Amino acid sequence: MNRVSHHSSTAGLLVAIVAASAAVSVSAYPGGTPDFQTDVIPYCATCHSSLDEASLQGAGERAKKEVADRKHLATVLAAEKGYGELSEADRQTLVTHIKAVDANSSIKLEFPPQVAKGETFQVTVRVTGGAGPVVGVALVDRPHRWYARSATTVGWKVIGAPTIIGPDGSPQTEWINKRPEREGRNITYVNVTGVESDAVAGTWSKSKIIFNLKAPDEVGEYPLVGAYFYGTEKATPLGYEEHPIYGKLIRGTYTGKSGRVRFTPTNTINVR
């Protein structure tokens, strides 16, 4: 069966809070959702920035505040939060590195353009970039930060656990296996671990996820969109500080908005 490929380089990763010692303020790192194995939709990623206003249509003036240039990069250049510890030249360099991460982080869906009613078929999601060490991937119904729903709400069904192939080419099962098998591992969201991109060297991790979907029982055209959650600052030494206990802590801390949410365009599969 022929497959079509759609991707987006204009559309992050859910941020986990780290409770540090009394001498260190509460900070954050792009650690994914290690304890939450369920469907995820983009509205919950409030600490992430968007790359354009297209995924925020209908939000009015608030949309302008959510784009990365204002929500994240402006705070770097203004020396706010932990960025004040950097020189002006280093802040400019950090912004350049972060923009390189965004330019080289993408999500692409591969799927058959047409399937039969009730047919089970594969959707392959390929992601590039993201600072790491974890990125998140979801299937949703539309490319919108606050209005997107799980892809299952429009009629798709996930059959079995998604197959996660990490940057080293090996399958990853630790994250998905934390969800009890009796609850069903047929979810529309996954974490990929072992991600390590380097904005200085210009090297970018690549991973893929394979979902087995079952088509709806009624003919029609059904939407399918990929959502990509990733961080930016750990891809450059200027973007984090080393903590003796907690390791790399991103410089912008929990409120720095250094994560991203990126979408594919709205893809349509014809169910015949």
Q: Quick one: tokens of 67?
A: 């784009």
Q: Tell which residue, 184, 190, 142, 183, has the closest CA to residue 165.
A: 190
Rounded to the nearest integer, the mean pLDDT of the chain is 88
Domains, the chain, ordered by start: 4-271 (2.60.40.10)
Alpha-helix runs per DSSP H in 67-164: 68, 74-77, 88-103
Section 32-57 average pLDDT? 85
Q: Quick one: tokens of 145?
A: 């930060």
Partnered with residue 114 across adjacent β-strands are: 270
* 58-73 pLDDT, tens digit each: 777 778 888 899 999 9
Partnered with residue 248 across adjacent β-strands are: 242
* 91-150 pLDDT, tens digit each: 999 999 999 999 999 999 999 999 999 999 999 999 999 999 999 999 999 999 989 999
Q: What percent of the chain has pLDDT over 70?
A: 89
Q: What percent of the chain has pLDDT over 90?
A: 73
Could you tell me which residue, 51 or 19, shows the higher pLDDT?
51
Could you tell me which residue, 64 or 87, shows the higher pLDDT?
87
* 255-266 pLDDT, tens digit each: 778 999 999 999
pLDDT at 51 over 90: no
pLDDT at 3 over 70: no
User: What integer pLDDT is reported at residue 7 of this predicted model?
Assistant: 52
pLDDT at 18 over 70: no
- Identify the DSSP state of 14: P
User: What integer pLDDT is reported at residue 15 of this predicted model?
Assistant: 38
Phi and psi of 75, rounded to 5°? -70, -30
Q: Are 149 and 177 in contact (CB under 8 A)?
A: no
Helix, strand, or coil (residue 221): strand
User: What integer pLDDT is reported at residue 57 of this predicted model?
Assistant: 83
Q: How far apart are CA 183 and CA 189, in angstroms?
A: 15
User: What integer pLDDT is reported at residue 17 of this predicted model?
Assistant: 29
